[in-house]
Structure 1
Amino acid sequence: MNVPFFGNSVRLARLYSNKTLNEVADALGVTRQYISRLETDKAIPSEEFSERLAGVLGVKKGFFLHYEPGQVGEHQFHFRKLRSTKVGTKNTTIAMAEIYRRLVGYLEGKLDFPELNIPSITASDPEDIENAAEQVRSEWGLGLGPIANMTRCLENAGVPVTFFKGISREVDALSVSSKRPVIVRNDYKESPGRLRFDLAHECGHLVMHEGRLTGCRATEGEANRFASAFLVPRSTFLAACPVMDRISWEKIKELKAYFKVSKACLLYRARQLDRITEQQYKNAIIRLKKHEGKQEFDDFLLGESEKPELVNNALKALWEHYGIGISQVEKELNLLPGMLINVLGCYEPPASHGNNVVSINKFAVGM
């Protein structure tokens, strides 16, 4: 009897481990072409070779036997990165996001997650994007005031959020538009305001760019416009911010405390809505980089940095109600110990996790 073997899982493990085809081939004493054939389902390895391959790629052999029907395509990754981002960095980050997505799928099969509520809206010109941001706010019952917690807004709408540790500074964030979308953010940026903007930016991709390749100047600009409109609603901002003949940094600081976004975001919004001129904006950004933004000394105005809760609560419920700890989850996903912690960011497991397996019933994950 032939044992199933899925090449896309080989590729996923290779990208996760940040190895090239040549590096894997050299470690196993085979050709680069043979590893490529495995990844494209043109060859099936022996059981002994699968064991060796798993060892090189840092997973269990059963990982290659896992078929993921919802495996996402490139157009479903909205990847916010610098232009200089290395291909290897991008691929590793995407692979980590796919591991995280598989974890979410596993948990969703055992627990009740919030119903997904991400509107799909076609918008590209500024007015349409402003309206799209207001429509999402309306559907989520947010009104037009400041958002207390952007992470919780997304997770209440059914979109799990996580932070990745140790990813290159070249990467800002990414989102995966799939049956259950997820959003990933790099944890090297400590500013709460930048965190909130990054999450709102990815929300814009999920809302406006379903089925579109992103990363170009146009789609990134659209997502930036959505983020600023979502975090700083037009009518509220216009009422709070007068036209400035000279930029008042005290007023910017006051608005920062109110809207809980960065000064850069507020200047960007003030220019969009003609509260300052283009030259004022350029001069202000220069000053921000030299003085006001050199050290975010007033980040206390934004409160503590937000933490993801949805998947953390799911893992906690899985343990408390069914005795299934994260080590057991790793076994069922054919991952090595510690791999899930790597994609969970701020997750802190209980001091002791049992491995006893019990029957699973649905259990709602509270927020």
Structure 2
Amino acid sequence: MNAVFDGASLRLARVFSGLALEEVAERVGKTRQYLHKLETGQGTPTEQLMGDLAEALDVEIGFFGSRPHRLNEDQFHFRKLMTTKSTIKQVAIARGEMIDSLIKFLDQELRLPQVSIPSLPNSHTFDEVERAAEYCRKEWDLGLGPIANMTRLVENLGAVVTTFQGVSKEIDALSVSVERPFIVRNTAKESACRQRFDIAHELGHLVMHEGVVTGDRVTENQANRFASALLLPRSMMAKLFPRPTGTRLDWKGIKEFKLTWKVSKAGILFRAKQLDLITESQYKTGVITLRKYGETNGEREDHLVAQEPPEMLARSLFILAEKKGINALEIAKALHIKPAFLKELAGLESIALSSPPQIHPEAARHLRLVK
């Protein structure tokens, strides 16, 4: 048989699809034990079985060869590492590995934005984290005002923002430290403010925690502090935060502040407490008030803050089809997968891309074809 087989690649395709060994075994008429042996390098399938496995998993036979770029768990920044279900974590890692493969293909065909995310590993204390966020704002020419679009900022910095279809709701946001980093949004969160904070949090991991296993209380608190400091600089909080009248919080002012800075009221209160602009008692009162009015998981003004969807992947795929004649079928073939697999991977409703997605000019300004 001429085809090369690597059991780890079979496992990658299976886990990507969220299938148990039993489910794949049933589809190809084999036992769970036999498939386990194949995945662990204790056996080699016949050419017929390789074809059946490829059909069952929406890949081409070539997918089962050895893969040069494998990701490991240490490169993934999961929230609440200890409580993330192992099976969900493995699906996320498999999807991350495939997204990385797609990004590497795009990097060969397009001149994507240069990665401009500094590495600041010595940011341990809260003051060091504050200074790291301030350094980033200066490096990225953000000034001290509100960040207009967090997704677009990250993508212009060279990272890719995406979602994992069917998995994102269970894993919260996460980021992956690779040559071209990427951030996975949690689509279960309908609030644009909360998604902006999540992206800023993951950006904090990429800045401060390269090569560090995260998900514990210390690193999560550091990433939260970075997100708060990036979105709400301490100098501007000191200058513009609506101070309480006596002991009473200025809810009208906090609402206006939220709509200007696109940070949730809960996030603003937490930041104000961090900077001693309100007392612990005032903060607790604020949290109780939000809970009382049903604003714990979503706030009244959320619909007034526009969503900030990812743009780079959709734009890249469209440019390949429109300018270079590389359509979805050819991309899938290059990755040894089938179009249905690519659709799931890219997280797009359609991979036909017959019309250009509505992309803001700022998002496309660094996207160029490789000659």
* TM-score, normalised with respect to structure 1: 0.88
In 1, Cα distance between the equivalents of 2:95 and 2:137?
Answer: 30
Return the offset for 1:133. 0.9
Partner of 2:100: 101
Partner Cα separation in structure 2 for residue 346 and residue 201 of structure 1: 24
Relative distance call for 1:236 and 1:347 in structure 2 (3 A) is: farther
Deviations 1:332-357 (A, max 9, x none): 2122222222233356555649xxxx
**Is the counterpart of residue 323 in structure 1 residue 325 in structure 2?**
yes
After TM superposition, give the deviation of residue 212 of structure 1 in Å. Answer: 1.3
The residue type paired with residue 302 of structure 2 is D
Q: Per-residue displacement from partner, 1:217-238 (whole Å, max 9, x unpaired)?
A: 2211111111111111111111
Pairing 1:89-238 to 2, within 5 Å after superposition: 89-122=88-121, 123-167=123-167, 169-238=169-238
Mapped to 1, the partners of 2:190 and 2:113 lie a distance apart of 28
Cα distance in structure 2, aligned partners of 1:68 and 1:132: 36
Task: Specify the alignment match of 2:308 in structure 1.
Answer: 306
CA contact (8 A) 2:321 2:327 kept: yes
Shift of 1:113: 0.9
Q: Deviations over 1:230-270 (max 9, x none)?
A: 11111111111255332211121121012111111111111
Letter in 2 for 1:113: L
Q: Structure 2 matches for 1:326-341, cutoff 5 A?
A: 326-341=328-343
- Provide the residue aligned with 1:293 in structure 2: 295
CA contact (8 A) 1:151 1:161 kept: yes
Instruction: Answer with 81-90 or 253-262: which moved more.
Output: 81-90
Question: For the residues of structure 1 that align with 2:223 and 2:87, how far apart are their CA atoms?
Answer: 25
CA drift of 1:12 comes to 1.3
- Aligned pairs, how many? 356
Separation in structure 2 between the aligned mates of residue 312 and residue 352 of structure 1, nearest angstrom: 12
Q: AA paired with 2:156?
A: N
Q: Percent identity?
A: 48
- TM-score, normalization by structure 2: 0.87
User: What is the deviation of 1:132?
Assistant: 0.9
Distance 1:51 1:266, change over 3 A: same
Of stretches 138-147 and 42-51 in structure 1, the one that deviates more from structure 2 is 42-51
Could you say if the C-alpha distance between residues 290 and 343 of structure 1 is closer, same or farther in structure 2, counting changes exceeding 3 Å? farther
List gaps (5 residues or longer) in structure 2. 356-364
Deviation at residue 93 of structure 1 after TM alignment: 2.8
Residues 82, 171 of structure 1: 8 Å contact kept: no
Q: Are the aligned partners of 1:165 and 1:186 in contact in 2 as well (CA < 8 Å)?
A: no
- TM-superposition CA deviations, 1:183-236 (whole Å, max 9, x none): 111222111101101101110111111111111222111111111111111111
Q: Distance in 1 between matches of 2:239 and 2:304?
A: 21
The structure-2 alpha-carbon separation of the partners of 1:50 and 1:81, relative to structure 1 and needing over 3 Å to count, comes to farther
**Where does residue 69 of structure 1 map in the other structure?**
68
The runs of 5 or more residues in structure 1 that have no matched partner are 354-362
Q: Which range is displaced more, 159-168 or 71-80?
A: 159-168
After superposition, the Cα gap between the structure-2 partners of 1:121 and 1:347, relative to the gap in structure 1 and judged at 3 Å, is: farther
RMSD: 2.5
